[in-house]
Structure 1
Amino acid sequence: MNIIFQFRPNSLLMVTLSWLALVTTQAYSQQSDLNPVQVDQFITQHMDSANVPGLSIAIIRDNKLVYSKGYGFTKAGSTQQVTSATIFDAASLSKPVFAYAVLQLVEEGVLDLDKPLYEYLPYPDVAADERYKKITARMVLSHRTGFPNWRKNRRSSELAMRWAPGERFGYSGEGFVYLQKVIEKITGLPLNDLMTKRVFIPLQMTRSSYIWNSTFDDNFAFPHNEAGKAESHYKSNQANTAYSLQTTADDYARFLIAILTPKGLKAATVSQMLTPQGQLPQTFSGNTDTLSPTLSWGLGFGLEHGPKADYFWHWGDNDTYKCYMTGCQKSQDAVVYFTNSTNGLTLIGDITRQFMGFDPTTVAFLGYKPYKKRK
Structure 2
Amino acid sequence: MNQLKQISIVYILLFITMSGISFGQTNSEFIRVPDGRNINVFKLNQHIGKAMDSIGVPGLSIAIVNNNKIVYHNTFGVVNNKTQEPVTKQTIFEAASLSKPLFAYFIMKMAEMGKIDIDKPIYPYLKAIFPTGVIAKESFEAYQTLTPRIIMSHGTGIPNWVKGPIKIAFKPGTDFSYSGEAYQHLGAAFGTKLGIGWGSALDSLFLKEAAHPIGMNKSFYTWNDILENHAAKGHMKGKVNLEMHRDKKVGPGYSLQSDAQDYALFLIEMMNPKNIKKHTRDEMLKEHNHFKPDSKLLKETGQTGWGLGFAQKPTPYGMMHLHTGNNQDFQAYTMFIPDQEYGFVMFGNSDNLFPLLETIEQLLGEHF
Question: Where does structure 1 lack aligned partners over 5 or more consecutive residues?
Answer: 9-23, 361-375
Q: Which residue of 2 aligns with 1:114?
A: 119
Instruction: Measure the CA separation in 1 of the matches of 2:353 and 2:257.
Output: 17
Q: Which residue of 1 aligns with 2:239?
A: 229
1:271 deviates by 1.2
**Counterpart pick for 1:160 among 167, 183, 187:** 167
1:163 deviates by 2.4
**Counterpart pick for 2:258 among 221, 244, 247:** 247
Structure 1 residues 287 and 313: alpha-carbon distance in aligned structure 2, compared to 1, 3 A threshold: closer
Structure 1 residues 351 and 183: alpha-carbon distance in aligned structure 2, compared to 1, 3 A threshold: farther
Instruction: Measure the CA separation in 1 of the matches of 2:126 and 2:35.
Output: 48
1:247-297 deviations in Å (ceiling 9; x for gaps): 11111111111111112111111111111112336898x499x79764211
Q: Which residue of 2 aligns with 1:308?
A: 317
CA contact (8 A) 1:84 1:249 kept: no
Q: Which residue of 2 aligns with 1:46?
A: 51
- State the one-letter code of the partner of 2:304: L
1:217-246 deviations in Å (ceiling 9; x for gaps): 3332111112x1111132222321110011
CA contact (8 A) 1:281 1:287 kept: no
Question: Where does structure 2 lack aligned partners over 5 or more consecutive residues?
Answer: 1-22
1:303 deviates by 0.8
**Counterpart pick for 2:366 among 352, 355, 358:** 358
- State the one-letter code of the partner of 1:184: G
Q: Which residue of 2 aligns with 1:5?
A: 27
Structure 1 residues 359 and 255: alpha-carbon distance in aligned structure 2, compared to 1, 3 A threshold: closer
CA contact (8 A) 2:232 2:349 kept: yes
How large is the Cα RMSD of the aligned pairs?
2.6
Q: Which residue of 1 aligns with 2:326?
A: 317
Q: Which residue of 2 aligns with 1:137?
A: 148
- TM-score, structure 1 as length reference: 0.82
Identity %: 34
Structure 1 residues 307 and 55: alpha-carbon distance in aligned structure 2, compared to 1, 3 A threshold: same
Instruction: Measure the CA separation in 2 of the matches of 1:26 and 1:343.
Output: 25
**Counterpart pick for 1:150 among 158, 161, 165:** 161
Q: Which residue of 1 aligns with 2:20?
A: none
Instruction: Measure the CA separation in 1 of the matches of 2:144 and 2:33.
Output: 54
- State the one-letter code of the partner of 1:256: L
Structure 1 residues 247 and 291: alpha-carbon distance in aligned structure 2, compared to 1, 3 A threshold: closer
Q: Which residue of 2 aligns with 1:13?
A: none
Aligned length: 335
Alignment of 1:82-93 (within 5 A): 82-93=87-98
1:203 deviates by 2.1
Alignment of 1:183-202 (within 5 A): 183-189=190-196, 190=198, 191-202=202-213
From the two aligned structures, give the one with the greater helix fraction: 2
Q: Which residue of 2 aligns with 1:171?
A: 178
Is 2:226 aligned against 1:215? yes
Instruction: Measure the CA separation in 2 of the matches of 1:274 and 1:237.
Output: 30
CA contact (8 A) 2:80 2:240 kept: yes
